[in-house]
Amino acid sequence: MQVTSETVAPREVVLTIVPEPETIDRAMRQAARELSRIRPLRGYRPGRAPYALVERTFGREVILNEALNKIAPDIYRDAIREADIQPYEQGLLDIETEDPLVLKVNVPLVPEVKLGDYAAMTIEPAPEVVIAEADVDEQIEMLRRQHAEIQPVDRPLQMGDQVVVGIYGKIGDEEVQRDEGATLDITEYLRPAGFAEALLGSQSNDVREFSLTYPEDEPNEKLAGNKVDYRVAVGEVREVVPPEADDSFAKTVGDYETLEALREAIAEELKEQREQQARADERLRAVQRLIEASEITYPKAALEREIDRAIANQRAHAKRMGFSLDSYLRITGRTEQDLRDDLNPGAVDGLSQRLVLMEYARLEDIQLTDDEGNSAINAYANHIAASYRGEADEYLKNAVQQGALTLVIEDALVMKAAQILADRMAGRPVESDAEASEVEAGSEGEGSEAVAEAEEKAEADAEDQGEA
């Protein structure tokens, strides 16, 4: 067999393969016997018809394709060995010419990573986390508002009230927002900035018209940097009457005997959360340093797989929320290719991070302990159980069949490598892998009842309200 290799893209080659004629002839005769066995020719026992008659009956192309279906894996394996390459994933053989038989196959190669001198790299350690009284006060106020009594009032709208409105927004002549019957909390956190202030003093049945300019970093690209002309019909004004922040209030929030105990729990959880965030920031800075100093080359197939992963995560998230990603795309007039294009920059970053960290783990012989591996798998299983409830067993079974656990273990190893890298760059000693800094295994942790309740409510409000 003759094999030639041509590089056609970064980490991608095309192999041109000329199999031995004897090999193909033998395979075609075997295929012809199989065809005549399945579809016997008149006058001959199954599988006993002469080759020439089978070829005239079914055609040479049919017999050749049947033969290649049988021997293609062997041809591909031998060609890979002959070319001395490492495929990222298996390519598909195409027939270039039939006589003589010439095959071609595009083969993506495993990514290639050459790390920079990471031993000489440093990052600024994250500053010590200090929780101020004002931080705790803010959480207390959020909890008070969540447990508040809400009652209609016949007076002008004030800061801290709740109001039902109809919102109509335009950029020029194009309507960009229509939200009828929306309930807004009139606070300093309402987006866009200035919206709450523009409604202050209004009463039920009033109509307010005003314009606001969105910042350039607004996530909604259609609104970013643009002036929106708003017309807001004011409906029912509601007063929010929060409970007093005292020991009785603390008991309604959770298992806290006193307000001071609640405040201490909030401060402790805030400190833990911010320390975790500080470590995450360190990891990000350390990995970015390493990426910038390294040479990373990968085939297009690797990036496509990373995007496929991101889309699969979005589909799973959409299902947990009670709708399908396809329905969302139809409603928004977008295609899956539009989504892939949007995900491309993040996929490039994610793939680069994964590749350098896997190489770092290989060079430093970083491995997961049995406990770490089991912990990662258990966390994944618990996540599935909580997210899919009645369908959890079937989903987990399918995920295992599709190799999800391999990715779970790889993710845990990547996270561990990132933490060790960050610890070393920040000047913290890492005596061994087993004693490396603890890393979040893809879960947010249980947290205190108080902060969890406040933040879950805040996130739910943000999702419900979004922009005003």
Render pLDDT for 317-350 as a digit per residue (tens, 0 to 9): 888 778 888 888 888 888 999 999 999 999 999 9
**Taking Cα atoms as reference points, which of 165, 175, 163, 166 lies closest to residue 229?**
175
Task: Pick the range with the lowest mean pLDDT from 91-95, 135-139, 151-155.
Answer: 91-95
Closest CA to 243 of 370, 173, 101, 147: 147
Q: Is the pLDDT of residue 131 over 90?
A: yes
**pLDDT of res. 380:** 86
pTM for the predicted model, two decimal places: 0.75
Q: Three-state SS for 362?
A: helix
What average pLDDT score do residues 365-382 get?
Answer: 92
Q: Who's near 266: CB < 8 A, 6+ residues apart?
A: 136, 139, 140, 448, 450, 451
- 34: tokens are 């199989």
CB of 376 closer than 8 Å to CB of 439: no
Domains of the chain (ranges, CATH numbers)? 2-109 (3.30.70.1050), 149-241 (3.10.50.40), 257-465 (1.10.3120)
Residues near 17 by beta carbon (within 8 Å), at least 6 away in sequence: 1, 2, 3, 75, 79, 93, 102, 103, 104, 105
Percent of the chain with pLDDT over 70: 91
Is 237:153 a contact under the CB 8 Å cutoff? yes
In angstroms, how far is CA 18 from the centroid of its own chain? 43
Q: What is the DSSP secondary structure assignment for residue 211, as one 8-state letter?
A: E
**Which amino acid is residue 140, in one-letter code?**
I
Distance in angstroms (rounded) separating the CA atoms of residues 26 and 437: 61
Q: Is the pLDDT of residue 127 over 90?
A: yes
Measured between alpha carbons, how far is residue 34 from residues 26, 51, 62, 64, 385 in Å? 13, 11, 12, 12, 48
| Best-predicted range by mean pLDDT (75-89, 183-197, 448-462) | 75-89
Quick: pLDDT tens for 271-310.
999 999 999 999 999 999 999 999 999 999 999 999 999 9
Which among 318, 294, 416, 305 has a CA at the least distance from the CA of 350? 305
- Residue 221 scores a pLDDT above 90: no
Percent of the chain with pLDDT over 90: 76
* Res 371 pLDDT > 90: yes
Provide DSSP, 446-460: ---HHHHHHHHHHHH
Report pLDDT digits (tens) over 264-279: 999 999 999 999 999 9
User: Quick check: 432 pLDDT over 70?
Assistant: no
404 or 93, higher pLDDT: 93
Lowest average pLDDT, out of 207-216, 262-271, 317-326, 358-367, goes to: 317-326
